[in-house]
Amino acid sequence: MPEVLLSVERLSRRFAVAGRKGSALHAVDDVSFSIAPGESLGLVGESGCGKSTLVRLLARLLDASDGRIVFGGEDLAGVPAKRFATMPQRAAIQLVFQDPTDSLNPRYTARETIAEPCRLLGGLDDAAANARVDEVAAQVGLPLELLSRFPHQLSGGQKARVGIARALAPRPRLLILDEPTAALDVSVQAVVLQLLDRLRRDLGLTTIFVSHDLNVVRLLTDRVAVMYLGKLVEMGPSADVFAAPRHPYTRALVSAVPGQGPRIRLDGEVQSPIDPPPLCRFRSRCPAVQDRCQREAPPLTGHSHVAACHFAGA
């Protein structure tokens, strides 16, 4: 059996709905997958499909409603997020946030921002923390003279590098990238993406890359997972998923990539994620819906390339 760094087993997160006693919004629903050391997994889907909630569960910024998060052989899902913050495993899972401006403390210089996890998670003294800051700043291409600046004195690309350096400082084993270039100008995005790809290869990082840009996911990841309304609907090697998507929702996503053939437009209403019935959640928009889809939910089927559709690949 191949080595597994992270195993997610039937993970769910439900949120109470104000004014509707007993109802719940199923943001992440019964999601299972694993990732090997050094692998890069892409996570794609429409806004509101549960991608950001899922990665926040993995980083233990949110508590799970059900399921397991087995990391390095230990189940972290049952550990409350506040207690996890004090555990040694906290340093091993780091998250690069979507907007570097919002995620950086405006009262901290770049050096202080990067040094903080070295002290809190790595247990380094000031001298060792500063040495680590210099080292990781060089890795991300951040000039040392910029380390004394505050976030408002940095450009968008520089702030992104500070955020990446902060995540790398405690030497994580798993780096989660939640749309790390979404808030950047297009001219800066390519540079930051190239940096992230180089760091992953040079440092041997395991990464989960969340993005709306399917071209980027295709180029920078080994496997891709597709989510729809909290559910995992397809997963497989990136080359296979983009060349021959098996789920009708994935086919529609891939068709939006330039050069991928005629665009598939989806009609119909999106199902509500509040108290959803145990049926296919894509059935109201699926161009190939059949009676069976209205009676039972499709399980994920396949081997290395799986899809949750009764008629996968048809």
| Mean of all residue pLDDT scores within the chain | 92
- pLDDT bucket at 314, cuts 50 / 70 / 90: low
pLDDT at 225 over 90: yes
Q: Which residue has the higher pLDDT, 83 or 96?
A: 96
Q: What percent of the chain has pLDDT over 70?
A: 99
- Mean pLDDT, range 219-243, rounded to an integer: 95
- Location of structure tokens 């540079």: 191
State pLDDT tens for residues 8-39.
Answer: 999 999 999 998 888 999 999 999 999 999 99
Of 307, 263, 270, whose CA–CA distance to 286 is shortest?
A: 270
How confident is the model at residue 72, as a pLDDT? 78
Confidence band for 275, pLDDT divided at 50, 70 and 90: very high
Q: What is the pLDDT of residue 132?
A: 97
* Residue 166 parent element (H or E): helix 156-168
Residue 108: its pLDDT value, please?
Answer: 96
Q: Is the pLDDT of residue 102 over 70?
A: yes
Q: What is the mean pLDDT of residues 174-190?
A: 88
Please tell me the CATH code under which domain 87-211 is placed: 3.40.50.300
Mean pLDDT of 41-68: 94
Three-state SS at 1: coil
Is pLDDT larger for residue 183 or for residue 247? Answer: 247
Distance CA 242, CA 246 (A): 10
Percentage of residues of the chain with pLDDT beyond 90: 72
* pLDDT, average across residues 51-56: 94
- Burial classification of residue 314, based on how many CB atoms lie within 10 Å of its CB (0-12 exposed, 13-18 middle, 19 or more buried): exposed
Residue whose structure tokens are 């199923």 = 26
Whether 79 shows a pLDDT value over 90: the answer reads no
**Rounded mean pLDDT, 37-43:** 96
Give the per-residue pLDDT at 261: 74
pLDDT at 98: 85
**So what's the pLDDT on residue 104?**
93
Q: How far apart are CA 289 and CA 198, in angstroms?
A: 43
Rounded Cα–Cα distance for residues 300 and 282 (Å)? 14
Domain ranges of the chain: 87-211
Q: Can you give the C-alpha Rg of the chain in angstroms?
A: 20
Q: How confident is the model at residue 44 (pLDDT cuts 50, 70, 90)?
A: very high
**Range with the poorest average pLDDT among 69-73, 81-85, 107-111:** 81-85
pLDDT at 181: 85
Mean pLDDT, residues 178-206: 90
pLDDT of 1 higher than 70: no
pLDDT at position 2 is: 64
Q: Is residue 187 over pLDDT 60?
A: yes
* 95 in Cβ contact with 55 (< 8 Å): yes
